Structure 1
Amino acid sequence: MARPFPEHWQQTLESLPLYSRLESSLQTELRHKVQAFLYRKRFVGCEGLAVTDDMRVTIAAEACLLVINRPSTLYRDLKWIYLYPSTFRSKQPERNEIGVVSKPEGSLLGVSWSNGRVVLAWDSVQRGSADFEDGHNVVLHEFAHQLDQEGGSADGAPLLNSRAAYGVWSKVLSREFAVLQREVERGHRTLIDSYGATNPAEFFAVITELFYERPGAMQATHPELYATLMDYFRVDPRQWHRG
């Protein structure tokens, strides 16, 4: 941690579309948190994938973007990050919000587990890092789940900044979640990805992607939800996006 930030890590950061748009103080903080993240976490390549520093720094930068400008444990309980070349199938059982255990079906782009593990498809990570304005980013999504899980079970309510914030959070997110579910049931197109209607945990992960990648559109159409997330994350991503 006392060593200078490696030059080739810096080059990777500068290749990410969003990094150059951050103010210098946030760039400095992000570098520090990336360095701490990579010191504490272990990456494992799966199905023959050789994990490079470029992969590690890219994932660390996007994960740490969620915790800059505010106190954090830097994903204290997370120990391992598994990388697949592309989509994969999970064998890990999952428990939903009412306690029903099932196994995920189909091919996955990412999974976040409460036992200190995140699994990602590298090609999806690359797509997300190349286009930071389409509202879809698997790293932001899965690490939002990690933040959610710091408060216990993944229920869409992470640890908040104050006791008073929980009342606002519950009111705003519950209302917006119910609206999304109704709109999806009616077959309407929504700014918030329809996958967010699955459950409150997925809703939080989906709106986190939207908050960072399409902040202008989100603030225009969901102003109270945007303000609630801005209070939680303590940043305003509209400052980082052109136009």
Structure 2
Amino acid sequence: MTVTFYFSEWRVVLVGKTGHGKSALGNSLLRHRGFFESPVSSESVTSHCRTGYRDMQNGYRLVVVDTPGLFDTRVTNNEISKELVRCISLACPGPHAFLFVLSIDRFTKEELDTIDHLKELFGKDVTKFVIFVFNGKDSLEYAGITLENYIKKSPVQLQSLIHRCGGRMTTINNRVPPKSKEDDVNNILSLVEQTIRSNGDKYYTNEMFEAAEKVYQSKIRELEDKYGKRLAELELREKIRKEIEEHEVFPNKIRELEKRLTELE
């Protein structure tokens, strides 16, 4: 079977934490209000990658891949990571840009963990292809501050990552009617075009991801080797303490368990 690629494409992948509006952004980009499910909820609806597209007036086809939210309340990060691997193939032969969707809000530890997780999963090469899109433009307008000033007050980790990604960032309000957010959508598409041009029309390849995946898995194995035994000891210690607290445990059994605890100290 022969596979034909549509080469006049701009391929983008949406990534970010659960509940920050990736699916809503995807609908805005596609000019299709309900293509990606986007309810008001703290739980992620997107459990599997999904692709949509539209043909633009400039002659290019815009391909949008929506991904599961990191720190999904229903699935493990391991499962999410595996699904993100699949998103690379859905954006075949490779995405031109990753739209990292964030919310105009205070940054929690989970937020910063999301940033670290994406860096580890996709590797250092991904910084050439990342665009930061902040959902909640209306909050900035209400406060009377610019996105640039907002970023200056954000955690150093985020400022550093945006700098390493070439300062590519913009904002959007996905809750307004399509015509009201047309300028925001065009700003995002303009950044996508700039990213493509700055990379010489190249895209994030499967080879880049595989190289990053090897490094990532190597780090995981190192951590397992380093902490695996210690975690097993802690679990055993907790189990022993619980047994000692049980009223049904006989005195001689208590002495035996206490001896084992002492050996673990």
For the criterion TM > 0.5, the same-fold answer is no
With the length of structure 1 as denominator, give the TM-score of the two structures.
Answer: 0.24
TM-score normalized with structure 2 length:
0.23
Structure with more of its chain in strand, by fraction: 2
Q: Which has the larger radius of gyration?
A: 2
By relative contact order (CA 8 Å, sep 6+), the higher-ranking structure is 2
